[in-house]
Amino acid sequence: MTHAPVLKVENLQTRFKSVQRGKYVHAVDDVSIELYPGEIVGLVGESGCGKSTLGRTIVGLEKASSGRVLLDGVDLSALSGAALRDSRRALQYVFQDPYSCLNDRQTVGEAIDEALIIDGTKSPDERNRRTRELLDQVGLAYAVKDRHTRELSGGQRQRVAIARSLAVNPRVLICDEPVSALDLSIRAQVMNLFLRLQKDLSVACLFIAHDLALVRQAASRVYVMYLGRIVEQGPSQELYDHPSHPYSQMLLASVPEVDPRVEKLRSGPLLMGEVPSPTNPPSGCRFRTRCPLAVDDCARRTPPSHGLAPDHNAACVFAPDLHGGKRSALVHQPA
Amino acid sequence: MKKLNPILARMSKMPKAALITIGLFVALGTFAPWLAPQDPSTQNLLEAGLGPNAAHWLGTDHLGRDTFSRLIIAANTSLVSVGSVLGIAMTIGIAMGTIAGYHRGWVDDLLMRVVDVGLSIPSLIIALAVIGIVGPGYWTMVLALALAWWPMSGRISRAVAVSIMSKPHIEALRVLGASPWRIYFNHLLPGTIGAVMVYATADAGVAALAVATLSFLGLGIQPPTPEWGQMLVDALPYLESDPRQVLLPGLALTAAVIGFNTLGESIALNRIPKPLTRRMLAARRIEVAGWAKEGIDAQ
């Protein structure tokens, strides 16, 4: 990666006021990520680990309590009002639920038109031309523009939502599980659409998902998130082949196998129990309460990030051993 | 009428009766001056207290005025006053509610505490207090009732506005960088008005009753303008000798109130079919199938 990142997130922290007085839910804690132009990056983790909150904070739907979001080197936290809205427009978000992210009262044409107006396209002819182009890009016929969004199927709605995001010429697309609400046959189509658009328009894409197979297929790099922190990151091939954080290992091992004979052979402790409360996160390493390898030291300090291979880091004291295969979270060994 | 048949055919009895009653009420109210067969204010003491006859279909009152005409003109009075009360109340309520729902935080807290205070005082008492201070009269009554009514629509609009604001389509607009102005006027306000109108239908009956109550007490619409509540109080001395004079305006009022309540409930429960929805959907479904050019993605 020689060129500059298009999106740089530095030590981002998002806290919500807890129902318990004076306490906070640490949804995103000290997260730094980078996106380079035109790449697809996966963000995986269990439900409730803060991956959606991270995405929402980046686009400004949640307020960051500290940290910076830099888009093309411009610090968005330093901007406000119309200047912020104009700059942040290059950062778009694709929602998980294609049913509620469009206004039922609008037709497809109106929804896309509105995005174009917001983006400052004044001439109606130009907007019509762009609408036609965008619908074509997402594989919908131009005639759809006169239909109300409520008349469309989930897959069609998601295409419209994608077309609307693309209307403002984004540099970065944050996709929050964009296909998990769609059924399997449509999922593949929309996924292919994503890959094609990303290639054609070279938009950088942060792909938030819990479907590990999907991320492996689509993403060039992967971040693994646990309880508000990034625990491991790396190129997807490398990370899927040599997961070096106990959590990543267990997460990957918990993917069911299609073949029942292979499934039977799957061994080792799979992820048990639930993610601890982000209101009172465990001290030191946050995964230690569920980690089969945890030692006393894990509770005392946050494990440093170990560089294992080019661009591959894991935040675990045993990361080098895990990476080299000398140790595994899947076969329980008393430390 | 033929176009209405498919809609009416799919409704059960109560909503149908309510729809017809309210339709009649609105039609009578709107066209009252042209529909009333005689001048509602012309007195003829020689014909006072007559029962139904050829000249006066529903008889006359104690001053010899034509009851049928007065009932029709009263529908107009009632419709206009209820319409103005709800119109004013909902304008204030929706404005307050959507602002609270849009901003949340301390603006929300402040406005909703004002609404709480308004709601904690019975509406008729607020209206009586205002009328007591300003003095009785048509517009005093309308304003007094509107003042008593807005907190309820404020509360409802706020709830609707909060639910609209939390919907992802508003978040999508924020991500697109839409101005607050655009979000408020193009998305929040139309959505809230649509939803609150449903509640207004159910509320109209109560408002009609309140107008009649105040007029009955002599605090609302003043004679000689015909009004149901006022016709009731005029006829009260003759309750025993000629109950017809009390029963007719009473029945008219009851029909309007029950009609509005039932209609409001039916709309809220989705028992009133939206015209043409089914046929349009069927026709479009065929077309929808052809929209996606799935082949493109199968590369």
The Cα angle at residue A69 between residues A311 and A27, in degrees rounded to 5:
85
Residues of chain A with Cβ-Cβ distance to B172 below 8 Å are: 93, 95, 101-102, 161, 164
Give the CA distances from residue B1 to residues A86, B6, B34, in Å, rounded to whole numbers and listed in that order: 54, 10, 22
Instruction: Write down the pLDDT at residue A185.
Output: 82
B residues 257..286 contacting A (CB < 8 A): 281, 284
According to CATH, the topology of domain A1-90+170-219 is Rossmann fold (3.40.50)
Kindly tell me if the per-residue pLDDT of B79 is higher than 70: yes
Answer yes or no: is the ipTM higher than 0.85: no
Q: Measure B171 CA to nearest chain A CA, in Å.
A: 7
Q: What is the mean pLDDT of residues A78-104?
A: 87
The minimal CB distance from A192 to the residues B287, B292, B297 is found for B297
Question: Chain A to chain B, count of Cβ pairs less than 8 Å apart?
Answer: 97
Q: Does position A67 have pLDDT exceeding 60, yes or no?
A: yes
Q: What stretches of B166-240 show up as alpha helix (H) in DSSP?
A: 168-176, 180-182, 189-216, 228-235
Query: Between chains, do A101 and B298 touch, taking CB under 8 Å as contact?
Result: no
- DSSP letters spanning A170-230: -SEEEEESTTTTS-HHHHHHHHHHHHHHHHHH--EEEEEES-HHHHHHH-SEEEEEETTEE
Structural domain boundaries of chain B? 11-274
Higher local confidence (pLDDT), A108 or A304: A108
Q: Name the residue among B177, B190, B297 with its Cβ closest to that of A118.
A: B177
Using pLDDT thresholds of 50, 70 and 90, give the confidence band for residue B294.
very low
**Average pLDDT for A61-66:** 88
**For residue B128, pLDDT beyond 80:** yes
**What pLDDT is stored for residue A332 in this prediction?**
52
Q: What is the pLDDT of residue A326?
A: 77
Q: What is the pLDDT of residue A267?
A: 58
Q: Where are the domains of chain A?
A: 1-90+170-219, 104-167, 245-335
Residues of B with Cβ-Cβ distance to A186 under 8 angstroms: none
The superfamily CATH assigns to domain B11-274 is MetI-like (1.10.3720.10)
A302: pLDDT strictly greater than 80: yes
**Category of B81 on φ-ψ map: left (φ > 0), alpha (ψ -120 to 50) or beta:** alpha
The predicted-structure confidence for B81-107, as pLDDT tens digits, reads as follows 999 999 999 999 999 999 999 988 899
- Across the beta sheet with A24-35, what order do the strands follow? A24-35, A7-17, A66-71, A74-75
pLDDT at B97: 92
Q: Give B287's pLDDT tier (boundaries 50, 70, 90).
A: low
Q: What is the DSSP letter of B42?
A: -
Share of chain B above pLDDT 90, in %: 12
Nearest to A175 by CA among A95, A98, A120: A95
pLDDT band, residue B290 (cuts 50/70/90): low
Across all residues in chain B, what is the average pLDDT? 81
Inter-chain touch B169–A139, beta carbons under 8 Å:
no
pLDDT bin (cut points 50, 70, 90) of residue B276 is: very low
The proportion of chain A whose per-residue pLDDT surpasses 70, expressed as a percent, equals 95
Q: Is the pLDDT confidence value at A5 over 80?
A: yes
Distance from CA of A262 to the nearest CA of B (A): 31
- Which chain A residue is nearest to residue B168, measuring alpha carbons? A101
pLDDT value for B284: 55
Q: Is the Cβ pair A118, B178 closer than 8 Å?
A: yes
Pick the residue of A84, A101, A138 with the most B CBs within 10 A to test the interface with B by mutation: A101
Position B298 confidence tier, pLDDT thresholds 50, 70, 90: very low
Nearest to A89 among B176, B186, B298 (CB): B176
A305-317 pLDDT, tens digit per residue, is 888 888 898 888 8
In the predicted structure, residue A101 carries a pLDDT above the cut 60:
yes
Q: What's the whole-number average pLDDT of chain A?
A: 85
Residue of B nearest to A118 (CA): B178
Residues in chain A closer than 8 A to B296 (CB atoms): 139
The reported pLDDT for the residue numbered A112 is 93
